[in-house]
Amino acid sequence: MPAPEHRAVTTSGDHTTTRRTLLRGGAAGIGALAVTGVAARPAFARPPRAYPFTLGVASGDPRPDGVTLWTRLAPEPLLADGAMPPGDVLVNWQVSTEETFADPVRAGSSRATAADAHSVHVDLAGLEPDRVHFYRFRAGPHLSRVGRTRTFPAVGTAMASLKFAAFSCQNFPAGHFVAYRHAAQQDLDLAVHLGDYIYEGAGAANPPGGAARRHAPFTTAVELDHYRIRHAQYRTDPDLQDAHAAFPFVVVPDDHEVVNNQNVDTSATRRTNGYRAYWEHMPLRASA
């Protein structure tokens, strides 16, 4: 039996290993990573006791050799801090070409920081092009749902087809996201979201979608906490979660991510709050 292969890359607090450094058996392998690669950083806070993956999982920005994986820890998503401890939490992740995770191709750990609302952005490289991959996260004893993603074909490769869905202007109080339910049942290569992922206005006290679809917080979003709660509320929609878990998203913001018809007179502080919360809740690269 050849000597085990080991390769570690540390970028923005992430620790990555190749498949031979993992214990076979899926969950055992992801749990074994909990003590690696963090000696030079402050101690981690204890993972939450309540289930933290209430906002689901997502992937985005697909490339021929990788994608960006996303999740956010929030046991109580309609609180600005998600009811998370004030410190940083270690989150492990795995990627496999098999949904059983019997032989992971990538695995590592990331630091979910309180400053970033305990969001996680894993920028993967070294994957095979034009290939379906599965991924999942672990925080303490809690395991996320499994997400499915796909890398782009290699540059210069002829493509016979590209199947994708396009979304925009999703208003939580206006109704339920049945278009996402339909899309999640299709064999799509990716989705493109063209903006207005949230609406920043308070909306109606008795919205068309029913009382459970009233905006939280029930005010116009201006502060960072407002935007965080609003994004988290949208992310609780089960059909939206299913779509994000089914294929990668390419996302761009529009005006309602901050304020309707924003312009040069929109305060820099409000723009910063809106775009920061947008990044915290989207499968965008850490550098974004």
Domain ranges of the chain: 9-150, 164-280
For the chain, the straight-line distance linking the first and the last C-alpha, in angstroms and rounded, comes to 43
Beta bridge partners of 58: 70
pTM attached to this predicted model: 0.86
Q: Is the pLDDT of residue 28 over 50?
A: no
Q: Please give the pLDDT value at position 264.
A: 86
C-alpha distances in angstroms, 16 versus 125, 129, 153, 239? 10, 19, 23, 31
Q: Measuring CA to CA, which residue among 47, 260, 76 is closest to residue 138?
A: 47
Mean pLDDT, the chain, whole residue set: 88
List, for residues 93-112, the tens digit of each pLDDT value.
999 999 999 999 999 999 99
Maximum Cα–Cα distance across the chain: 66
- Tokens of residue 85, six digits: 């401890």
Q: Is the pLDDT of residue 37 over 60?
A: no
Q: Look at 6 and 168; give whichever has higher pLDDT.
A: 168
39-45 average pLDDT score: 69
> Taking a C-beta distance cutoff of 8 angstroms, is the pair 81, 117 a contact?
yes
What CATH number labels 9-150? Answer: 2.60.40.380
Q: Please give the pLDDT value at position 43.
A: 80
List, for residues 109-167, the tens digit of each pLDDT value.
999 999 999 999 999 999 999 999 999 999 999 999 999 999 999 999 998 899 999 99
- Calpha distance 211→196 (Å, rounded): 22
Q: Please give the pLDDT value at position 183.
A: 98
- Calpha distance 172→166 (Å, rounded): 17
Q: Is the pLDDT of residue 76 over 80?
A: yes
Q: Measuring CA to CA, which residue among 170, 169, 168, 166 is closest to residue 188?
A: 166
- Calpha distance 169→219 (Å, rounded): 19
Per DSSP, the residues of the chain read: -PPPP---EEETTEEEE-GGGSPSSTHHHHHGGGGSS-TTSPPPPPPPSS---TT-EEEEEEETTEEEEEEE--SSTTSTTTT--SS-EEEEEEEESSTT-SS-SEEEEEEE-GGGTTEEEEE--SPPSS-EEEEEEEETTEEPPPEEEEPPPPTT---S---EEEE----GGG---HHHHHHHTS--SEEEE-S-SS--S---SS-TT-GGGS-SSSS---SHHHHHHHHHHHHT-HHHHHHHHHS-EEE---STTT-TT--TTS-HHHHHHHHHHHHHTS---TT-
What size, in residues, is the chain?
288
Residue with tokens 């339910």, as numbered in its chain? 181
Peptide bond into 217 cis (omega under 30): yes
